[in-house]
Amino acid sequence: MKFLDQAKVYVRSGDGGGGAVSFLREKYVEFGGPNGGNGGRGGDVVIECVDGLNTLIDYRYQQHFKAKTGTHGMGKDRAGAHGENAVLRVPVGTQVFEDDNETLIADMTEVGQRFVMLSGGNGGFGNAHFKTSSNQAPRHANPGQPGVEKWIWLRLKLIADAGLVGLPNAGKSTFLAAVSAAKPKIADYPFTTLHPNLGVVSIGERDFVLADIPGLIEGASEGVGIGDRFLGHIERCGVLIHLIDGTQDDIAHAYKTIRSELSAYDAQLGEKSELVVLNKVDAMAPDDLTEKVKLLKKLSGQKVLQISGVTGQGVDQVLYGVVETLDEAKAAKAEALRRQTEPGWTP
């Protein structure tokens, strides 16, 4: 299945059905009176979050979605049926934007969540509705209200607990393949990963979802390489795993490049919790390793984890670090919510 994380679609709600003009014509009924029924309501456009999807590829082949028109009213006081809804089924993590691709309309984060994007037009009243004591034979009815149309953007942001970031060929896909059952493409050339990959990681008695995104290079925020649009997939992550290739010469530049690109994309993304991991230590000389670990520790201001994605050295330590960071974030959030419930709390 191909991966598509953004699509532009046209949606239109259904028109309301028109009311009917009708009179009762029955033997032995001298003054039958009006009996035109009301029109049915037009169908709505509904966004539904469903399980089992992880891409928006369906919207590459169909971009127009129109709800059905309500059925017109009929004689004998028969009201028209409501029009059928147009339902757009999207994966968890999909955001819906206006045509400007900036104004957020809805954020679909839970399976079963439904959002009525556009309401269908109301059905028109039949002539029976207008019957009064002074107008006992109305000969007019209302037409149904027209539906509403617009273009919208669907943008998928994968929901993962942790995200892998780093320069191309830092070993992100190798790490994901080593700790989960995911099978990302692995090769010895840059930009092997062209779309995000997800894997479920088990460590101890805990599970979490890990996301691997394409590598970033200097100037990605300005469109260099394949850009930074894929960073949207790690916006929801609780912690970032920053992988740095230990075999390259200038690891300081590599670290600073990723940090600057994260901040350029979104200031909040640049402030996320981060684990600094020096990869490919199995291919490094001991003296070189010690020197680069010391340099990274000085730059990041935190402990530097040393691993080898190929041999598995130090990998569990990183995974336990992810679990610990996620638990700390969860506890901090629970404490913040508890404080909000206390009397006298002010934001």
Give the model confidence (pLDDT) of 56-69 as tens digits. Answer: 888 988 999 999 99
The pLDDT mean for the chain works out to 86
| Lowest-confidence segment of 164-178, 223-237, 262-276 by average pLDDT | 223-237
The confidence band for 14, taking pLDDT boundaries of 50, 70 and 90, is: very high
Query: Is 192 labelled a binding residue?
Result: yes
Query: Is 172 labelled a binding residue?
Result: yes
Query: Is 293 labelled a binding residue?
Result: no
Per DSSP (E only), the strands in the chain are: 6-12, 45-49, 64-66, 86-90, 94-97, 104-108, 114-118, 149-156, 162-165, 197-203, 206-212, 239-245, 273-279, 304-306
Per-residue confidence (pLDDT) for residue 280, from 0 to 100: 87
pLDDT above 80 for 194: no
pLDDT mean over 26-49: 90
| Lowest-confidence segment of 140-149, 217-226, 239-248 by average pLDDT | 217-226
| Lowest-confidence segment of 28-42, 220-234, 288-302, 314-328 by average pLDDT | 220-234
Q: Residue 129: which of 41, 42, 37 has the closest Cα? A: 37
Query: Is 279 labelled a binding residue?
Result: yes
pLDDT mean over 222-232: 71
Q: Alpha-carbon distance 231 to 142, whole Å? A: 51
The confidence band for 7, taking pLDDT boundaries of 50, 70 and 90, is: very high
The confidence band for 270, taking pLDDT boundaries of 50, 70 and 90, is: confident
Q: Alpha-carbon distance 39 to 37, whole Å? A: 7
pLDDT above 80 for 339: no
pLDDT above 80 for 122: yes
Per-residue confidence (pLDDT) for residue 120, from 0 to 100: 94
Query: Is 297 labelled a binding residue?
Result: no
Per-residue confidence (pLDDT) for residue 1, from 0 to 100: 47
Query: Is 214 labelled a binding residue?
Result: yes
Q: Residue 308: which of 296, 299, 317 has the closest Cα? A: 317
Strand 197-203: give its sheet, edge to edge. Answer: 197-203, 206-212, 162-165, 239-245, 273-279, 304-306
pLDDT above 70 for 347: no
Per-residue confidence (pLDDT) for residue 188, from 0 to 100: 66
Per-residue confidence (pLDDT) for residue 227, from 0 to 100: 66
Query: Is 191 labelled a binding residue?
Result: yes
Per-residue confidence (pLDDT) for residue 226, from 0 to 100: 66
pLDDT above 70 for 242: yes
76 Cβ contact list (under 8 Å, min separation 6): 22, 24, 35, 37
Query: Is 193 labelled a binding residue?
Result: yes
Q: What sign has the CA pseudo-torsion 308, 309, 312, 314? A: positive
Q: Identify the residue with better confidence: 344 or 18.
A: 18
Q: Residue 177: which of 198, 208, 206, 204 has the closest Cα? A: 198
Query: Is 282 labelled a binding residue?
Result: yes
Query: Is 190 labelled a binding residue?
Result: no
Q: Identify the residue with better confidence: 6 or 335.
A: 6
Q: What is the pLDDT of residues 159-184, one digit of tens each?
A: 788 888 888 888 888 888 888 877 77
Query: Is 308 labelled a binding residue?
Result: yes
pLDDT mean over 88-117: 91
Query: Is 167 labelled a binding residue?
Result: yes
Query: Is 169 labelled a binding residue?
Result: yes
The confidence band for 263, taking pLDDT boundaries of 50, 70 and 90, is: confident
Per-residue confidence (pLDDT) for residue 46, from 0 to 100: 95
State what percent of residues in the chain have pLDDT above 70: 94
pLDDT above 80 for 225: no
Per-residue confidence (pLDDT) for residue 43, from 0 to 100: 95
pLDDT above 80 for 218: no
Query: Is 310 labelled a binding residue?
Result: yes
| Lowest-confidence segment of 92-96, 143-147, 277-281, 332-336 by average pLDDT | 332-336
